[in-house]
Structure 1
Amino acid sequence: MTGGEVLYRAVGSRLPKHVKVLAWGRKPSARRAVEFARRKGLAVTHLEDGFLRSVDLGDRDAALSLVTDELGIYYDATCPSRLERLIRAPIGAAQAARARALLRQWREARVSKYNHAREASAGLPSSFVLLADQTVGDVSVRYGCAGPASFQRMLEAALDENPGAPILLKVHPDVFAGRKRGYFDKLTTAQAARVRVLGQDVHPVALLERAERVYVVTSQLGFEGLLWDKPVRTFGMPFYAGWGLTQDELAAPERRGAATVEQLAHSALVAYPRYLDPETGRRCEVERAVEWMGLQRTLRERFPEQVYALGFSLWKRPIVRAFFQGSQVRFVRREQQLPKRATVAVWGQRPVARGRPVIRLEDGFLRSVGLGAELTRPLSWVLDEQGLYYDAGTPSGLEQLLQSARFEPALLARARRLRERIVELGLTKYNVGQGEWRRPAGVNTVVLAVGQVEGDAAMRFGAGAVTSNLGLLRAVRQAVPHAYLVYKPHPDVLAGLRAVGSGEADCVYWCDEVVADVPMGALLESVDEVHVMTSLAGFEALLRGRQVVTHGRPFYAGWGLTQDRAPIARRSRQLNLDQLVAASLILYPTYVSRASGRFSTPECVLRELEAWRQTAPDASLWRYLFRWLYRCQRGLERWQSGDKQVKKTANLE
């Protein structure tokens, strides 16, 4: 809790009078807390989960919202609550407008209290009457003036009042999880003939938007039905009943009266709960919480319910699961283990049998603080069902976005702010390097040539006529013979994690300076022109307004922003820089937050990269050990293959 409150354990005999005793709902522990407060003459505040709680169930996921109540608790209809007082109070025009906007946002985000379940599968009727079961022992049933008989009356009323209509019974998520029992363990033969019990845990939104009417005892599904503008019939006395918004089986307490949906939504979602931003750990407003949860809902539905991941190392498997949240991931070693029509996820351009649905994974463009080859966990990956951004031989998902996406003004404004922030923070893909570099005095033009790992996928699938780092330097020297030419080898090569390119030790003879341990962002700010084969440094240079010449076919070439030595005819659209950024950094990659472990946005990742870079511990010992082990492995491989040639790397280290 915030606001200067301090929590004390219930020990000792003397406590300050301003201390509040916290009690969780109406649990037995709450009764003990209330009795303790009575003896000590202290005030009691009751706590409960909010109405937009979490992605997963309560025993698996931390709460995003919490309600506090000094009078009672919202589901206890036997006494007043702070929520009742809020609903009774009139709201102004601004609050009503906010509530209406929140209702639209809630529906568009497709959120609910719990958000782990997938949308309904095919086979549901186009319209139906929806009934909500609850769990046996749920305190909201008892304190909502209801009991087991209430559920039978609900079912009988739904059958009688909707003759011929399909009846769908939604089971509580905790029942599907095997943690609790529901009230409808058995149906009579006559009931079973008309009632369809949903045999899977379905996201409530998929049901509410098709439902003609919603029948509940005290379930929150009734509240959400009102948010979706559905007729709701209640057989208990939940907090949203008794205000003239629902058809109620029970008489409402006299303290309740008439209210609008705007009053209900503003009270229950804005004024009553407290929300915590899962990425910053700070208090936030409901709109931010809905926005974040809506992102989770959208990204969890992208891929099939089950995905097979082929050939991933043990280190990458938890990361694969994180980027495929919403789908069940099964890992297999060989393609022969895959079911016939299974969707398979693979790293990079690993071959997969023709005709099989494939999702190809690669590092994103804002990845980490540290190299991927050093097993630094990524903040972004791309998950591409068309191809991969570095494969110029076939259109990728990114290329299709760049070629045909409609870039709305709001998206372009967001892209501009993102680009400016990246430049301001000096962030790049890996964010490595500690050294400094100064532009030589008296030099008119400084050109940077960026080395790559020769033979990696980006070179194999995207290079043009120039296919080596030495070849790049020769081409650049020929193009700009009088410029001051700086060469920066790839950080994996400098770290000894990847092999030195063919003849790369001779690069010192073709440039004026080799720069090693300097952050790429700082280096790009000090040069006039950048030459690359397919390196992401060309894209990072565009963000900083530098002239970029491509000697290969990277994803950012061919759109009118670069000088291209290897044109791609099918890329026919002329783009501006913000359109390129919108597709490449906002629409295409997938981001996972270090703080929440959930899907995130590039803006949040920028904040986390900035903090990560400032607080990252000195990993030099670990890196030294890792690089030593890697070199030992490479030496063993060369010895086993009979290759005893030792490549010269002294000039690059």
Structure 2
Amino acid sequence: MAGTLAAVHWLDWGLWSQRQLASRLDASVAITGGLLPYRGGAAYIGWGLKKSGLRALALSKRFDGHCWLLEDGFLRSLEGSTSPSYSLVVDDVGIYYDASRSSRLERLAAISLDDAQQDRALRLLQAWRYHRLSKYNGGPDPIPNALPKPYVLVVDQTAGDAAIAAGGASATSFQQMLGDALAANPDCRVVVRVHPEVVQGRKHGHYDLASLRANPRIVVVADGSHPALWIKHAHAVYTVTSQIGFEALLWSKSVHVYGMPFYAGWGLTQDLLPAPSRRKHIPLEQLAYACLIRYARYFNPETGLGCEIETLMEWMGLQRKQRQRFPARLLAYGFSRWKQPFVRDFLAGSKTVFTQTLPPAGPSDYSIVTWGHKHSAELENAGFREHVLRIEDGFLRSVGLGADLIRPLSWVIDPEGIYYDARSRSRLERILAQEPFTDALRERAALLRQLIVEAGVTKYNLQHPEQWQRPSGKNQVVLVIGQVESDAAIRYGANTVRRNLDLLKSVRQARPNAWLLYKPHPDVRAGLRKQGEGESDALRWCDEIIGDYSFESLLPHVDEVHVLTSLAGFEALLRHVPVVTWGQPFYAGWGLTEDHEMTPQVQARRTRRISLDDLVAATLILYPTYVSRVTRSFCSPERAVQELLAWRSERKPSPLRRIVARLTRKP
């Protein structure tokens, strides 16, 4: 495109006030009054065929200048049109939905693909279908079993949509389309999809919904559900100029078109209107490549920087997958006010209602959400034994302690149990016992483990400059990890050894000649939790008590790590340090640790032998949920590690937070 300077009319403040506009255009942006030509051969910019776009067109004609018309790309955002957009098209010829004249998209679509581009287009089509994407991606999927069979899909649009008139159609086109769909498919139901903005009451559509519902052959979809599965299971798709027609092509559907949208006229659709002579028959891969790769620009939601469409598709697919996990309605019981915003973030996709009072148990369309086993007795007494989601801190949580009211980057949400409760199988244990770990997943786990180890990342990422020195002349140094004795991980994961002091005694008996280092739990050291029973006598059973040293910095200097159920054992395994367990943590019993206190029942459930990469894949990739502290959207574990590193380099928070945590913490 010509020029690196863009001029926008001063009346179009909604455009020039966008902070990211210049970087997304890769051009300087200036404001013009429109009375004189702007200097330096600037391109006048506006939004599509809206007022700003028409102004830009008029200025470019008046001053014989360039014009760039902007629009959202075909993979726009998570939510609707008022949410942040992650794609942009910049057209210096026309605009893609205006069939009355050429556009940059038309010219790009005419370019043949080489072998590499053809392969990329095929992978793109496969990924689009795999992630079940659309322009907007916030709606829930319909329940496949509830879809009528068979059916054709008729797509409504909002009244006054500029793409209708620009595509040579009108309001009467929608009536003709519906009539043809009914007549041509006598053995099918006709599903009419209402536009999401009509569902929200923000705009009007082209049909009277009451009249549609009076027809027994018509099914009205006005629930805001995502279109992908409706497209996938449709016998055919009918559209005027909606982008859903293009998406239906990506699903290899028969598409009947009653206007002349950007995807019609190429020999891929059944068109009512004659195609412009500019458009010739081309393969679907060539059209998809032009629309999704050559024409549109994409921006990484996590960094704001430009990216390839595959990056955005992967991110959008993750959001879609995570938002479909749980029922539409959730009742969150017993959560403190400071945790409630986090609960909403981690359960995005469901409507979460908070309560401090349990409703009567019985058949319902919602699940109960609670924190671990904190309220298990109350739930059981009230009759809630099923449909309970238990939340706990994840294994790469934050920079700082959870007891300090620090925002979490990861939680685990378990519908089967909870990972530290060895009495019954949790979702994590089921993954470890049954997941068919693929080579690709193992490779990803190995790279993630390498990233974590090299970056020195742990659960809380507490940093202390002091370095512990291994005593000279000691043949074996054993690190013993203390825990908060009232913690649920001991109550539900320990066997006969349940006190830190008893752990020390057991280790001393097992390793009588070793140098025993005892590291109390950070919450105990910080004064946020009580010391264990008899823990003040720890020096009678160990050689040294260490406090303000990071756990990760100690591992190169020790020969073994002994734990009850602490996550520290897992973190030691990541660094290839031998681990001995005296309880029943989730990572014990799989052939990676030396285990002393496992019950026969737990041993019977954990008979599979797994690799360290399998353990990492289950524990850090498949089981937890990660939410970015930057976007407050779901993210990958790899992104979570990057954010932890950036967070760790920031200035430490005020001590006031710890004071508030001490004062407000419930016993």
TM-score by length of 1: 0.93
Q: Does 1:363 align with 2:404?
A: no
1:538-573, Cα deviation, whole Å (9 max, x unpaired): 000000000111111100001111111112322111
Bigger mean CA offset, 216-225 vs 488-497:
488-497
1:118 to 140, 146, 171: 140
Structure 1: distance between partners of 2:658 and 2:413? 32
Q: 1:11 to 1:504 in 2, by over 3 A?
A: farther
1:432 to 462, 466, 470: 462
**Unaligned stretches of 5+ in structure 2?**
1-22
Structure 2: distance between partners of 1:628 and 1:195? 60
Indicate the residue corresponding to 2:509 in structure 1: 478
Q: Does 1:410 align with 2:440?
A: yes
Indicate the residue corresponding to 1:284 in structure 2: 307
Indicate the residue corresponding to 2:648 in structure 1: 613
Q: Report the residue type matching 1:256 in the other structure.
A: R
Indicate the residue corresponding to 1:501 in structure 2: 532
Q: Report the residue type matching 1:90 in the other structure.
A: S
Q: Report the residue type matching 2:44 in the other structure.
A: V
1:621-647, Cα deviation, whole Å (9 max, x unpaired): 2245335635xx78xx8xxxxxxxxxx
1:526 to 539, 547, 557: 557
Q: Does 1:9 align with 2:43?
A: no
8 Å contact 1:431–1:613 — kept in the other structure? yes
SS of residue in 1 equivalent to 2:330? strand
Structure 1: distance between partners of 2:625 and 2:658? 31
SS of residue in 2 equivalent to 1:549? strand
1:550-606, Cα deviation, whole Å (9 max, x unpaired): 111100001111111112322111111111111111111111112222111111111
Q: Report the residue type matching 2:629 in the other structure.
A: R
Indicate the residue corresponding to 1:326 in structure 2: 349
Q: Report the residue type matching 2:542 in the other structure.
A: C
2:616 to 566, 581, 588: 581
1:226-250, Cα deviation, whole Å (9 max, x unpaired): 0000010111110000111111111
Q: Report the residue type matching 2:139 in the other structure.
A: A
Structure 2: distance between partners of 1:492 and 1:187? 61
Q: Report the residue type matching 1:596 in the other structure.
A: T
Q: 1:236 to 1:405 in 2, by over 3 A?
A: same
Bigger mean CA offset, 14-23 vs 386-395:
14-23
May I ask how many residue pairs the two structures share in their alignment? 631
SS of residue in 2 equivalent to 1:237? coil
8 Å contact 2:159–2:205 — kept in the other structure? yes
Q: Report the residue type matching 2:628 in the other structure.
A: S
Structure 1: distance between partners of 2:168 and 2:656? 62
Shift of 1:2: 4.6
Shift of 1:347: 0.6
Q: Does 1:382 align with 2:412?
A: yes
Structure 1: distance between partners of 2:510 and 2:146? 64
8 Å contact 1:332–1:338 — kept in the other structure? no
1:94-109 residue pairs with structure 2 within 5 A?
94-109=116-131
Structure 1: distance between partners of 2:566 and 2:385? 31
Q: Report the residue type matching 2:191 in the other structure.
A: L
TM-score by length of 2: 0.91
Structure 2: distance between partners of 1:474 and 1:134? 73
Structure 1: distance between partners of 2:163 and 2:361? 46
Q: Does 1:625 align with 2:664?
A: no
Structure 1: distance between partners of 2:406 and 2:212? 59
8 Å contact 2:231–2:251 — kept in the other structure? yes
Q: Report the residue type matching 2:464 in the other structure.
A: Q
1:214-363 residue pairs with structure 2 within 5 A?
214-336=237-359, 340-341=363-364, 342-349=366-373, 350-351=375-376, 352=379, 353-363=383-393
2:495 to 442, 448, 464: 464
Q: Report the residue type matching 1:512 in the other structure.
A: D
Q: 1:39 to 1:523 in 2, by over 3 A?
A: farther
Shift of 1:41: 5.0
Shift of 1:34: 3.1
8 Å contact 2:43–2:67 — kept in the other structure? yes
8 Å contact 1:321–1:329 — kept in the other structure? yes
8 Å contact 1:434–1:517 — kept in the other structure? yes
Structure 2: distance between partners of 1:562 and 1:190? 63
Indicate the residue corresponding to 2:8 in structure 1: none
1:254-296, Cα deviation, whole Å (9 max, x unpaired): 1111111011110011111111111222211111111111111
8 Å contact 1:392–1:555 — kept in the other structure? yes
Indicate the residue corresponding to 1:644 in structure 2: none
Structure 2: distance between partners of 1:454 and 1:38? 77
SS of residue in 1 equivalent to 2:29? coil
Shift of 1:336: 2.5
8 Å contact 1:431–1:520 — kept in the other structure? no
Q: 1:148 to 1:628 in 2, by over 3 A?
A: closer
SS of residue in 2 equivalent to 1:45? strand
Q: Report the residue type matching 1:374 in the other structure.
A: D
SS of residue in 2 equivalent to 1:102? helix
Q: 1:481 to 1:286 in 2, by over 3 A?
A: same
Shift of 1:512: 2.4
Structure 1: distance between partners of 2:447 and 2:337? 38
Indicate the residue corresponding to 2:423 in structure 1: 393
8 Å contact 1:464–1:533 — kept in the other structure? no
Indicate the residue corresponding to 1:651 in structure 2: none
8 Å contact 1:48–1:67 — kept in the other structure? yes
Structure 2: distance between partners of 1:53 and 1:338? 42
SS of residue in 2 equivalent to 1:590? strand
1:147 to 165, 170, 176: 170
Q: 1:190 to 1:49 in 2, by over 3 A?
A: closer
Bigger mean CA offset, 283-292 vs 78-87:
283-292
Bigger mean CA offset, 286-295 vs 168-177:
286-295
Q: 1:437 to 1:167 in 2, by over 3 A?
A: same
Structure 1: distance between partners of 2:42 and 2:663? 57
SS of residue in 2 equivalent to 1:251? coil
Shift of 1:196: 1.8
Shift of 1:194: 2.6
**Unaligned stretches of 5+ in structure 1?**
638-653
Structure 2: distance between partners of 1:22 and 1:110? 33
8 Å contact 2:213–2:220 — kept in the other structure? no
1:596 to 631, 642, 646: 631
Identical-residue share of aligned pairs (%): 49
Structure 1: distance between partners of 2:209 and 2:228? 26
Shift of 1:437: 2.0
SS of residue in 2 equivalent to 1:137? coil
Shift of 1:49: 0.8
Q: Report the residue type matching 2:426 in the other structure.
A: S
SS of residue in 1 equivalent to 2:235? strand
Q: 1:189 to 1:545 in 2, by over 3 A?
A: closer
Structure 2: distance between partners of 1:79 and 1:36? 18
1:488 to 506, 519, 522: 519
